[in-house]
Each structure stands twice: as C-alpha cells, then as structure tokens.
Amino acid sequence: MERFKDAVAVVTGATSGIGKAAAIEWARDGARVVVAGRRKEKGDAVVSEIRDAGGEAVYIPTDVTNEGSIASLIKQTIDHYGRIDCAFNNAGIPGERMKSAAEQTMEDWNTVIATNLTGVWLSMKYEIPEMLKAGKGVIINTASFFGMVGSDFGIAPYVASKHGVIGLTKSAGVEYARKGIRINAICPGYILTELVGPALETRRDQFMATIDQRVPMGRIGEAREIARAVLWLASDDASYMTGQTLSVDGGVISV
C-alpha cells in the first residue's frame, strides 16, 4: 500500500524503538520521512535502512528540549520537502525509576517533563503553523497507558508527563478541529524498546512476571504494532478522530 505516497512525515525520537518503527512503516507506505533525534549515528542508520528498502528519508539532528533545535527541525523540513503532512511527536525518556514521588529530585522532574511534555508542546508549536498554511495536517503524540492510570513503579514524573500529553492533545485537538488539523495521542503499553531494556537486563524474571500478571494478552508488545496504529491514526481511515487517545496495550487499562 501507499496510503502516504509523497506525504511528508516528521518523526521525533526516530533513532530507535517506536519512532524508528514508525519511520520505517511510513516510508514503506510511500511517505518521505524526516528522522529526528539526538543520536546521529543511529539516525543515519535508520535513514540507510529506509533508503536500502527503496524509501526516501533524511536525518535531522534534534533535541526536543531545546526550542531552537525544534525550530530548526521544522525549518529544515520545509526547506527540504516544502511542507509537513504528518508529525509523530514521539521522543521520550523514562526518567529515574524505583523512586517514590517524594524521593524524586528537582533534576529528575525537570528532565522528564522537559522531554516528554514540553518537547511535545514545542514540537506542535512549530508544526501547527506550517500545517495551517497548507490547510491540513495530522499530529500524533506519544503518551502511554501510564497517562491514564497511576503506577507503583516509582516513576511519578513519567506518569505525570504522560497525563500531561493526553491533556495537551485533547486541548489542541479541540482548538484546531475546524482548521483542518487532527491531533490524537497513542498510548503504548509494555513495548519491547530501549525503555524496557534495563528492566529486562537486571530483573528479567520479575519484569516478565509483571507482564504475565498485568497484561491480559500475556505478552510484551512489539514496536511495529504501535507504529501500525500510529499510521492508522494518521490515515484517512481515522478522518473523524481528533483529541482522542488510542491505547495499544494488550488490554492493560481494561483490567
């Protein structure tokens, strides 16, 4: 399929995990992809993988905590491709784990919020004006199932940031609903990415036991499963959705 033939898709946090999977899927579906992230070597590798498969992509170094970096990302995208049709604001970090809310430091808090929440807002701040010029556009923000529930894992800043992403998505979705821009959030469950890597390395049995107990499907998800849902949200098949959250979590929040 080429649902996105010649469309321009910008993906932050695209050097690994869900972002990388989404970039590859978009390219397979005909889009011209901007791979945005901090790690040049990994970003170049994603671009090479896309091009080797016959797709089109470019890497633009981006730090979503830096407004100037995001402004540069959007400017370079417009200079290179002329427009932005789809944006996947996906960059995120887990922050310090196994610390109660009162044990988290100001540095912990600021670092997570700056990346996971402020980074999403800044991305939209610069994406939306370009989409308004074109009269259309689609934005998908990465939240989490932890944006809808609490957690006893000692990740309060992460949970707060993802709740914030959902609130931001709902508000922006309403604001631009009559201006041709759809804005939704994807809420992944436990997905096999770098974010869960440390848990698998240091306490694999405990982590997998958690998956077995808390995930009705009884397994961890794959990044490509989230990517496919992101592309659906970006497609015309989801043309009547905005300001919504789509949970792709193996049934976690239904328990």
Residue-wise DSSP of 150-189: --SSSBHHHHHHHHHHHHHHHHHHHHTTTTTEEEEEEEE-
The 32-37 sheet, strands edge to edge? 56-61, 32-37, 8-12, 86-89, 137-142, 181-188, 245-248
Rounded distance, CA 108 to CA 158, Å?
10
Instruction: Say if pTM beats, i.e. exceeds, 0.85.
Output: yes
Give the model's pLDDT for residue 1: 63
Say which of 158, 176, 190, 240 is annotated catalytic: 158
Give the model's pLDDT for residue 193: 86
Distance from chain centroid for Cα 143: 7
196: tokens are: 């869960």
Other Cβ atoms less than 10 A from the Cβ of 7: the count is: 21
Give the model's pLDDT for residue 199: 64
Give the model's pLDDT for residue 98: 80
Rounded distance, CA 136 to CA 150, Å?
35
Q: What is the mean pLDDT of each run of 10 residues along the chain (255 residues)?
A: 92 97 98 97 98 97 98 98 98 87 94 98 98 98 96 90 98 98 97 75 79 92 97 98 97 91
Give the model's pLDDT for residue 198: 66
Catalytic site includes residue 176: no
Domains and CATH numbers, the chain: 8-192+221-249 (3.40.50.720)
